[in-house]
Structure 1
Amino acid sequence: MQEKVGLSSDPDSGKGKSKMSKHITHGFHLVKGKSAHAMEDYLVAKFKQVDGHELGLFAIFDGHMGHDVPDYLQANLFENILKEPDFWTETREAVSRAYRITDSTILEKAVELGKGGSTAVTAILIDCHKLVIANVGDSRAVICKNGVAKQLSVDHEPTTEKEEIENRGGFVSNFPGDVPRVDGQLAVSRAFGDKSLKKHLSSEPFVTEEIIEDDSEFVILASDGLWKVMTNQEAVDCIKDIKEARSAAKHLTEEALNRRSSDDISCIVVKFH
């Protein structure tokens, strides 16, 4: 189900490293939540040589109402991004376009992939120097620089995008004891898929770039199963003294469980030292 990376025989845990810089490593760990349905978190974590460059490809896909959409994203989203002709010259635009194209394909395949959807956060590390982050939904990317957490993605929540949702003819519910939801159903305002809600949802990603410098220590990518119970700074503090990337990712998931997170939790840590 998950992408196996490194020498681990455990599909829910793995690690790898850059060939270009021996200091850059990654590790990941996934834990299924307490719900009755199958695991709906999928991830990608690997280094790949493309056109004479090294790319670190990292992503968290947190599905809802089934695992078919995150499974499809795991297999296709990076491929679609790298197929964009201007990927090397206009990377941010290429990523945005590939997100849109991928979402259109998912909607066309709704009979096969079902009515569910998925959030996404993707990080592409180009030649160990430039990090391009994109996201839809509430899976999040956070970088640690000199011990300080800096969020690189945007949580797309119904309350913050209420006006846009209403302009498209939708509504944001706010029932007591529940989180705000688009049309009373979905707790994020942007996602892949979700054909029945698509008129009121966006799949336009937030995209940003970050240059990796000497003060850049590591990046955390994780699904909301982690962020519901930890602040960005708490997550950074939790692993700042753990040298090995996979151990750091595992420690974060364990800490989220200790804090009573009941959701699926997936986490990738990319270390720059």
Structure 2
Amino acid sequence: MTGKEILYKMKEKVGLGSSADSGKGKSKMSKNITHGYHLVKGKSTHPMEDYVVAQFRQVEDNELGLFAIFDGHLSHEIPDYLRTHLFETILNEPNFWTEPEAAMRRAYSITDNTILEKAVDLGKGGSTAVTAILINCQKLVVANLGDSRAIICKNGVAKQLSIDHEPSMEKDEIEGRGGFVSNFPGDVPRVDGQLAVARAFGDKSLKKHLSSEPDVEVEMIDNDTEFIILASDGLWKVMSNQEAADAIKNIKDARSAAKHLTEEALARNSSDDISVIVVRFG
């Protein structure tokens, strides 16, 4: 086995992915729950700025499914930092088991402050994030900043579990902080004419006008639950929630489903980095 193959196997085992990468895993608590992920670099000249986490972890008598996509802008250091630090910060919150939603909000705030303090090392850019924690195969807690997105499919119907933080939707809040939202012809709305999302980690130069408060949603897993999809905006720019759900409804292997979605996004001329995680239930 070559060094590259060994590294690939190690990354697949711990569920950390970047660049052109792919991986899969399964729950020990429920053999019917599996996950797979696939990443494809976009057409831009800068390095890959998407990173994922996809793993099941035993914590004493509990099992946690930890899933996340971090989509950097002007930075690959910050999403890489989030990949290795955000979940540890969440799980170290003393109230995680009793109030996971509050723990995630506090951990997001702590992590953002740390990134700003480390701006000299991590650079001037930032990152969006969508994170999902599956607690004992029963409770799903989703948090997000920016325009990466999580959906759940039950009985063939796709439901969005996160909120796309578009500058046009938070114009009043941005202006209330002293910023502005540009709306130039041929371009998307941007905070201070620069950033196309209203919330993100990092972005020290824009932080006075930019929120790092996540939206948090809780969903219970039941017998109707088929799968969840987490993906960066490289997918959602060219596919609706229902189109993505319909595209993989008959693909039982989670990694194959994730890869199929990236291929479909490329076929629809998505030029951005594309990262997809699929978690299948039964």
Instruction: Please state which band the TM-score falls in when normalised by the shorter chain.
Output: over 0.9
**Aligned match of 2:115:** 106
2:64 is the alignment partner of 1:55 = yes
Matched, 1:249 2:262: no
Equivalent-residue separation in structure 1 for 2:106 and 2:183 (angstroms): 33
Shift of 1:17: 0.1
1:192 to 196, 201, 216: 201
Asked if structure 2 preserves the Cα contact closer than 8 Å seen for 1:142 and 1:153, the reply is yes
For residues 91 and 6 of structure 1, what CA distance do their matches in structure 2 show?
26
Asked if 2 retains the 8 angstrom alpha-carbon contact of 1:137 and 1:156, the reply is: yes
Structure 1 counterpart of 2:21, one-letter code: D
1:165 corresponds in structure 2 to 174
Determine the C-alpha separation between the residues in 2 that align with 1:19 and 1:243. Answer: 18
Question: How far off is 1:126 after superposition?
Answer: 0.3
Partner of 1:142: 151
Task: After TM superposition, give the deviation of residue 51 of structure 1 in Å.
Answer: 2.8
What is the distance in 2 between the residues matched to 1:7 and 1:40? 19
Q: Which residue of 2 aligns with 1:4?
A: 11
Which runs of no fewer than 5 residues in structure 2 stay unpaired?
Answer: 1-6
Report the CA distance between 1:66 and its aligned residue: 1.5
Does 1:77 pair with 2:86? yes
Q: Tell me how far apart the structure 2 counterparts of residues 51 and 199 of structure 1 sit (CA, whole Å).
A: 41
Separation in structure 1 between the aligned mates of residue 131 and residue 115 of structure 2, nearest angstrom = 17
Question: Is this contact kept in 2: 1:69–1:113, CA < 8 A?
Answer: yes
**What is the DSSP-based 3-state SS (H/G/I as helix, E as strand, rest coil) of the residue aligned with 2:141?**
strand
Amino acid at match of 1:58: F
Partner letter of residue 159 of structure 1?
S
Partner of 1:233: 242
User: Which residue is 1:33 aligned to?
Assistant: 42
Are the aligned partners of 1:158 and 1:188 in contact in 2 as well (CA < 8 Å)? yes
More helix by share: 2
TM-score, normalised via structure 2 length = 0.94
AA aligned to 1:18 is S
Aligned-residue identity in percent: 75
CA contact (8 A) 2:188 2:196 kept: yes
Cα separation, 2, equivalents of 1:193 and 1:225? 20
8 Å CA contact 1:4, 1:11 repeated in 2: no
Distance in 2 (CA, whole Å) between partners of 1:100 and 1:18 is 29
Give the letter for the 1:41 counterpart: D
Assess if the C-alpha contact under 8 Å between 1:61 and 1:70 holds in 2.
Answer: yes
Structure 1 length-normalised TM: 0.97
Is 2:29 the counterpart of 1:20?
A: yes
Query: RMSD of aligned C-alpha atoms?
Result: 1.7
| TM alignment of 1:88-103, pairs within 5 A | 88-103=97-112
